[in-house]
Structure 1
Amino acid sequence: MSAEPHPTLPPVRLPADAELARDALGAPLFARAVRLARWAGPDTRIEIGGELAADQLPLAARELGLETSDEDSVVYASQAWRVAVDTGLVDVTEPEEESGEAEGERGTAVPGEDLALVTGGTPGDVLELWLAALDTVLADAAVPDLDDLVDALDAGGEIDFDRLDWNPGREADFLDGVLANLYLLTVAEGGTADGPVPLPVLAASMVVPDGMGDPTDAVLEQVSDAMMRLDDQFRQLEPIGLVEYRPVDEALMAEGEEPAGGAGDAGDGEEDVSRYGMVRLTPLGRYGIRARMLEAGVEAPAVGDLADKGADALLDGVARYPEGAAQAEIEQWLAGRELPTAVAELLAAARGDDEGAPLRRLRCQQALAPAGPEAEPVVRAVLDDPELGGLARVWLAEHGVTDVPAPDGAMVFWLTVDTIAAQLAADGETEELPLLMETLTAHHAGFFDQAWRVDHPATADVLEAMGRLHPDKKAAKEARKAAFKARSRQS
């Protein structure tokens, strides 16, 4: 998978390795490969390239419980054998090309050393074998079908790639891009999560230029072509357990309907959309695509990555996570620690006057929210801390503690600036932020006369944002004046 310049992806939620390994062993194509690896022996005939001899394929299909009279059964047996060889489940010795069958030479096959890992290895060992199998299947999926290859043979029996209009690297990159988009749609906050993605949406994400309104007929034609190519590819990827796929309804072709119609007009209901194909990454598929992304250098975190890290790494790590993912990561981090100690570590990590500190304090407050009464002494200990005192008072008030000393004016203004700075860092200039600004300033007469004096590194930036976003025009003008004073004071 090629690495694209990409911001850190949202963290994916994955089952435990043991559960993923069970899914891998249950994937039909991988299970067939294991079965053929156990079947391989002294009588297994191998051709050049490690493929099973033609007369061996019906035997392999019978071993897999497939109907040998069915042409597809030979194809399934051949695919499973190729996976078994590529993953090391089978060791093959090819015949010498010069000698050939005429001299009685033949290749041999025996179960590979890695076959023992299927039952005797760790879940991680099984997943490594499955990833190797996935590489094989993805490479096969990027190859045109046999009819196209035959049509593209030149007089010398070589493939004319110009005539075929197929570039192996380009096809592999296209499929990688499709799977990356499917992964992003799956893990994004508010994305599809466990829901399927319509094939037209996925095809359009690769073809339609950014910013294009209504696609042109030429672009719709490209979307249609991409859909049909993906339909074939996802059919090949489903048996390895990467996706669950509902293919394009063949009746659409019989009816003469253009598949691209689904890209721009999904129809009147979900049933209509599904006729154009629906695809969903399985949990094993999420694991597989993430592993390929990590190998390509893409930052693709998973919930639980930070569970064994310190509190500083936790707060910095979840700073850019969507809220739901951040909460899930925090809960896993807390689950393995004594609460009072964990709370003390979080509070210590939340201190600082660097640019990321306000957002760390916001995530710290989020982390402390579910903590029970045993955290109260640790939180009380920072009431007089200029950076954490406001946070501590909020937590104590939310937990019904009544004897909390009121903050002085300086702390109130500092906490206001810190809160807005954290919200700006977390979500940018959202629609909700003006209301927050109005609420915070409404309780303090002459707020901006005091705010520009707040000794906080983000004071000027916050006041400038309030000047742009505050819903009250008079207050917005006062904010801009205060921002100028704050900027002058800082410089």
Structure 2
Amino acid sequence: MERDLAETLLSELGDPDEAPLSFKEMLGLPDRLPPLRLPSEEELAAAARRSELLDNLRSLALRAVERSRGAEDWTAAEVTAAAEALGLPVPEPVEGLAGVPDLARRWDLAVDAEFIDPATAAAPGPALDEWPGGSDEDVLGVWSDVLGLISEDAFQDDDADPELADVGAFALVMLFMTRHEGIPAGALRRMVADVVDVEPEEWERWVETSGDLADRLLAILVDLGAVQVDDETARLTPLGQYALAGALAEDGVEVPVLPSAAEMTAGDLVDFAVAASDAELAAEREAWLESRTPAEAVDELIASAASGDVEHRVIAMSLAKSVEGAEQRWRQALDDPALRPYAKSVLQESGAPDVESTPADAAWLLADLLSTGAAHDQDELAALLADSAPAGQEAALFDEIWRLDHPHAQEVLTLIGDHHPDKKIAKSARKAAHKVNSSR
């Protein structure tokens, strides 16, 4: 009975007569995304059992089975009673299920998710036994089926124009990609309008008649338990993240799930930090540190920094610097040219009298930092540069950078040359960038 959420999501993005589009290709996703911290399967299943939407579908299915009612057999009184029991508005007059659109959509979902037998309509389907009383695996399967159905066509009426079948899938993937920050409801409305390929005037008329699609989508996803909306910002719940991670994995994008803190490596922690909020990272860091000594933690983080790319190195060394103690391990890091500037900084801050940083160290740290995209605007760029070089000594710092054996030296100098608000400083950076080319 269980549908494949990935197959459902992917099949809805593109021409049905052609091969399904790939999220990975469409959004330019890497082979691997930062890991997730998810609850246990038992906790996820418990959350799925609390789904208000699935409770609605089951309640509607039980009414239908008890009264042997197919979609066309409901009386006006039965429709009214069912809608009121689910807290749905009931227009006047009501003649059948179609007279209460929200109830009709739930009926379609109940049939498609097999709470009701699709063949006989008035008989129970397998989901009626699997949710909420089945195994955790069964419960999560039913829940994921319904999420897939919502992404597929929960908002596509048979005679709807424009075509809306791919909107749910697109919105879910975007919510997953912004899972820590979330998406403001207004931004999601604009995204949905962009996905629907119609003129703005036509879309505005459709919204005026049928309601804003993003709001309708969020409402049903909240009822399912896939999304939560706080202060007008929508975020996937752990259940939503679990389902979308599985879907993306089927599309060739690995989304690891973090192991327990004791089993988590320093590399896992650094990878998590790439996309985590400050609060999430602080919680993971604290749990990770509790499972090892400071010396072990610093040793693992420094070793991870030595084996990773620049972004990995910057994050790992930043995490290591926040751990007190382990001076001997920092002294060992002095032997690695890429880590030496970080080690010197820590040892100097701890009062080591025999360690002195050089202009080349400052140049390396700035090159590392800027190559990770740490400066998001001119002001941040200027502030980072000011922290690395006193006013008037920027040219000397650029001279150090272009001489470094740093993989991003030219990129960093070009960034400063293109975006620094001080024209004189920018020109000096551009001149240094040209020297990188001529020296290699």
When normalised by structure 1's length, the TM-score is 0.62
Q: Choose from 357, 373, 388 the match for 2:339.
A: 388
- Pairing partner for 2:148 from 121, 135, 152: 135
Structure having the higher Rg: 1
Gaps of 5+ in 1: 95-106, 150-163, 210-217, 247-269, 271-277
Q: Which residue of 1 aligns with 2:51?
A: 27
Partners of 2:373 and 2:143 lie apart in 1 by 37
Corresponding residue to 2:275 among 321, 325, 341: 321
| CA displacement, residues 424-461 of structure 1 (integer Å, 9 cap, x when unaligned) | 32335632123322442338694455544333333344
Matches within 5 A, 1:56-67: 58=78
Are 2:300 and 1:345 equivalent residues in the alignment? yes
For residues 434-445 of structure 1, what are the structure 2 equivalents within 5 Å? 434-442=382-390
> 1 CA distance for matches of 2:149 and 2:173?
18
Deviation at 1:350, TM superposition (A): 1.2
Contact 1:91 1:111 in 2 (8 A): yes
The two structures, once aligned, show a CA RMSD in angstroms of 5.0
Give how far 1:363 is off.
Answer: 0.3
Describe how 1:61-460 pairs up with structure 2 within 5 A: 83-84=109-110, 86-88=112-114, 94=120, 109-110=123-124, 112=126, 115-116=129-130, 118-119=132-133, 121-122=135-136, 125-139=138-152, 141-144=154-157, 164=159, 166=161, 170-181=163-174, 187=179, 189=181, 192=183, 197-198=185-186, 201-207=187-193, 219-226=200-207, 228-231=209-212, 233-234=216-217, 239-242=223-226, 280-281=234-235, 283=237, 286-287=240-241, 290-291=244-245, 294=248, 297=251, 304=258, 310-312=265-267, 314-315=269-270, 317-318=271-272, 320-321=274-275, 324=278, 327=281, 331=285, 334=288, 337-339=291-293, 340-351=295-306, 357-373=309-325, 375-398=326-349, 401-407=350-356, 409=358, 412-427=359-374, 430-431=377-378, 432-442=380-390, 446-448=396-398, 450-460=400-410
Give the Å deviation of 1:406.
Answer: 1.9
Counting matched residue pairs gives 399
Task: Give the superposition deviation at 1:313.
Answer: 5.5
Residues 228 and 92 of structure 1: CA distance in aligned 2, closer, same or farther (over 3 Å): closer
Specify whether residues 27 and 415 from structure 1 end up closer, same or farther in structure 2 by C-alpha distance, changes over 3 A only.
Answer: same
C-alpha deviation, 1:56, in angstroms: 13
* Compared CA separation, residues 8 and 415, structure 1 to 2 (3 A): farther
**SS of structure 2 residue aligned to 1:143:** coil
Give the distance between the partners of 2:68 and 2:411, measured in 1 at CA. Answer: 74
Amino acid at match of 2:169: D
1:423 maps to a residue whose letter is: L
Separation in 2, partners of 1:180, 1:229: 24
Deviation at 1:338, TM superposition (A): 1.5
Identity %: 24
Residues 92 and 329 from structure 1, CA distance in 2 versus in 1: closer, same or farther, beyond 3 angstroms?
same
Q: 2: distance between equivalents of 1:93 and 1:57?
A: 25
- The answer for the alignment partner of 1:16 in structure 2 is 39
Q: Deviations over 1:50-75 (max 9, x none)?
A: x69547994996799579xx759966
SS of aligned partner of 2:389:
helix
Cα distance, 1:89 vs. partner?
Answer: 5.1
Contact 2:130–2:138, Cα closer than 8 Å, also in 1 = no
**CA contact 2:75–2:95 (8 Å) conserved in 1:** no
**Contact map agreement 2:228 2:237 (CA 8 A) in 1:** no
> Could you say which residue in structure 2 is the equivalent of 1:6?
27
C-alpha separation in 1, matches of 2:185 and 2:376: 30
Extract unaligned runs of 5+ from structure 2: 1-8, 14-21
Equivalent position SS for 2:372:
helix
Q: Given the superposition, is the C-alpha separation of residues 54 and 34 from structure 1 closer, same or farther in structure 2, using an over 3 Å criterion?
A: closer
In structure 2, give the amino acid aligned to 1:349: S
Whole-angstrom CA distance in 1 between matches of 2:400 and 2:229? 60
* Residue identity matched to 2:383: L
| 2:123 match: secondary structure | strand
Would the alpha carbon gap of residues 420 and 326 (structure 1) be closer, same or farther in structure 2, given more than 3 Å must change? farther
CA gap 1:311/1:108 in 2 versus in 1, 3 angstroms: same
Report if the CA contact (8 A) 2:302-2:320 is conserved: no
Q: Is the 8 A contact 1:314 1:330 kept in 2?
A: yes
